[in-house]
Every structure is written in structure tokens, then in C-alpha cells.
Amino acid sequence: MRILLGLLLLNTALFSAEIPAEKLNTLVGALTRLGPEKVNANPRLLEALNKVLDATKGTGRFVEIVSAFKLADRNDELLKLAIANPNNNVGVDSVKVLMSNKGTRLLKGALKRENEGEAISLIEAIGNTVSGSTIPILTVGLDDSKGRTEVRKAAVRSLAKFKQGAQALLDRAKSGEIDSTIRLTAATELNAVRWADVRAQAAELVPLPKGREGTSFAPIAELIKRSGDPKRGQSVFFRETVMCSRCHQVNGVGIDFGPALSEIGTKLSAEALYESILAPNAGILMGYESWTVETKTGDEFYGLLISDTDKTLTIKTVGGILNKVDKSAILRRSKSKLSTMPDGLQQLMSEQDLIDLVEYLKTLKKK
């Protein structure tokens, strides 16, 4: 009966050049019910599946289907998707599927071969999986055989996104393998991670340059009286080492993780803006509580809890990627009283940077 339904739909699929959207859903449903084994064993069903894949090219749907049917011959397409979408689920899920499709060699090869921009995008996508299993691949970027500085820095940033990766960087620092080209990037990243033990080691092994660390700023009451330059503040906001735009969007630019700040100047006073930056844990916005989910394989997803169903938890990790975790794969989950917005961000800037930054946020008003 099921097979019949499948074949019936198959005819429509094969004899029309394009599959209309509603038919596509039915077809995917039918093929999914038949399951990978039956579909892979039947040439006509496989043909239908390939039609579906052509019709969904470049979308999250495509990645889902490749994953569900355990298709090993689509790795090159997944690789392209990863490079084109480093900061959204299409690309990051592509990397995850590649990893489970024995794509490690392909990924390593691509990092060596691709042009600089593409290698950097790929490294970002890989880092956004926050998975310890990617360390050997990211290490290829870290040691880039062509010695490309930006590729190496991107690898540092990606490794610092998950604890095992951060630890791998520290181990390298211990053995003197963090050279001057990537040292500042490593210092910036590792001194700002959320794992206190990693930060403590980083302060020893790859300290932040003097002048920025430990400088004490004037009290907020004093800061609000100083004048700043909103234009400069905007560049502070988007500066890679200051990190605001890695978690916040302003008018659609930046990464969608924390609340958008496009109208924050209407919502918060200058004083409250300073407080949000200097003491993020003083008050956490409703719905933005932070969660940690550890899996039995040692991966850790840290971020916002988006949904909790019978079978899966969806965690939005810092970086804005949605991660569906099977409940059966979870070892532990816990909610934290601390904000996912790290404290100590002011250490990544000067006092004037901070004043300019707040001046900029004040200009972001409801239109």
C-alpha cells in the first residue's frame, strides 16, 4: 500500500519538469515513510528522490533530506552550502551532515584548496557546530599550509567557541605553539570565554595586551556626563574583537542571537545602557535565560532554549544556530542564573570606546 502511494506520486514527479510546492511536500512525506532502505533499493524511487533534491537545492530542506536518506554522494553540494551559509542553519547543518557522512577528509581538503574567503567561511560554519569532533579539521586551518593570516585567525575564533576547542588552543599555548600572528586573536578570544577555568589559564598563558586589561573605568555616574562620538561608537559595536554584533542585530545587520538593539535608545536610558554592558547579570531579559545542554558524546550546547518537545530540545547557540538535540542523547541540562551576555566586555575596549559605544546605542531609536 505504502509502496503504491510512493509509486503513484513518483509518476507525477518524473513526468513533470518541475514539482509544485504542495506536491513536493507530499512526495517528501511519502518517500520518508518508505524509508531510506526501500528508496535506495529501488531505482525509480531513487530517481524521484533525486528530483526532490534538485527541486530543493540550496535550502535547509535539501540538507534534511540528504541527512534522512543517508546519501553519501551529495557531499560536494553540502560543502558548497556550508561555504555559502557559515552563520545560519543551512550551512552549519550541512557541516554536521558532512561530518556524519565521513566528510572529514573532504572538509580538510577544502580548507587547503579553497580561496581565502571561502576557507574562512567554511571555518566559521565548522566552528558554529560547536562540536569537539571538528578539532582535527579546524587544526588544519590553524596551521594553514599557505600561511594565510586571516584563515588562521578564523580557526582560532572557531576553536574558542566550544570548550574542547578552547582547551586545544590553551594546550598549544602551553607548548609555545601560538605564534605572534595569531596571538592577539587567541588572547582576545580565550580571555572572554565563559569557562572560568579556561579564562584563568588564558590570563597566564595568553594575557591580553597591557593597558586594556584591568584598567578601571570611571563610575557610570561620571561616564554619562562625558561626550562621545556615535559614528566611532558604531565601529566599536561592529568591531570583531568587541563582539557586540556577534550576538545582536541592529537593523538586520549582525547575528541574531540576543535581542535586536535597533530601538534600544528608546527603551533604555544612558545609565541603563552602561549597566547592560558593564553588568549584564544584574537583570536578565525574560526569555533570554541561558541553558547548557551536555550530550553523552561530550558536546556542549550553550545558549537559549527555543523549544522543548517529547523527543528533542532546541538550543540556539551563541552564533544564532538552532541545534536540535535528541533527548536520548542528552547527559545533562541546566539553566544558569547568569546571562549568556558575558561580563567583562569592557576589557575588550578603552574607556572612550565604551563612551562612544553608548553614544551610538542612544541614537538607535524607534522610527
Cβ proximity to ligand HEC: between 325 and 341 the closer is 341
Instruction: Restricting to residues 62-91, name those near ligand HEC by CB under 6 A.
Output: none
In angstroms, the CA 229 to CA 287 distance is 32
The reply to whether 340 sits near ligand HEC by the rule CB under 6 A is yes
The reply to whether 188 sits near ligand HEC by the rule CB under 6 A is no
The reply to whether 7 sits near ligand HEC by the rule CB under 6 A is no
The reply to whether 24 sits near ligand HEC by the rule CB under 6 A is no
Of 79, 166, 247, 305, the one binding ligand HEC by CB under 6 A: 247
- 333-345 burial code (b ≥16 CB/10 A, e <16): beeeeebbbbbeb
Q: How far is CA 105 from the centre of its chain?
A: 22
* Contact of 304 with 288, CB cutoff 8 Å: yes
Q: 295, 290, 355: which is closest to 330 by C-alpha?
A: 295
**N-term to C-term CA, the chain:** 58
* Contact of 216 with 342, CB cutoff 8 Å: no
Q: 100, 160, 149: which is closest to 124 by C-alpha?
A: 160
Q: How far is CA 332 from the centre of its chain?
A: 21
User: CB within 8 A of 136, min separation 6: which ones?
Assistant: 104, 108
Build a one-symbol-per-residue string for 286-315: x at contacts with ligand HEC by CB under 6 A, - elsewhere.
Answer: --x---------------------------
The reply to whether 239 sits near ligand HEC by the rule CB under 6 A is no
Question: Would you state the cell numbers that stand for residue 252, as one nine-digit string?
Answer: 538586520
Of 137, 142, 243, 315, the one binding ligand HEC by CB under 6 A: 243
Of 46, 284, 322, 330, the one binding ligand HEC by CB under 6 A: 284
Minimum Å distance from CB 359 to ligand HEC?
12
Binding-site size, ligand HEC (CB under 6 A): 26
Of 259, 314, 322, 343, the one binding ligand HEC by CB under 6 A: 259
Minimum Å distance from CB 241 to ligand HEC?
10
Looking at 11-19, 59-67, 132-140, 341-349, which segment touches ligand HEC (CB under 6 A)? 341-349
Minimum Å distance from CB 283 to ligand HEC?
6
Minimum Å distance from CB 153 to ligand HEC?
18
In angstroms, the CA 217 to CA 97 distance is 47
In angstroms, the CA 245 to CA 253 distance is 8
Residue 353 has φ and ψ, to the nearest 5°, of: -55, -45
Of 84, 203, 220, 345, the one binding ligand HEC by CB under 6 A: 345
Build a one-symbol-per-residue string for 141-180: x at contacts with ligand HEC by CB under 6 A, - elsewhere.
Answer: ----------------------------------------
* Contact of 308 with 284, CB cutoff 8 Å: no
Binding residues vs ligand HEC (CB under 6 A): 242-244, 246-248, 257-259, 261, 264, 267, 273, 276-277, 280, 284-285, 288, 318, 339-342, 345, 357
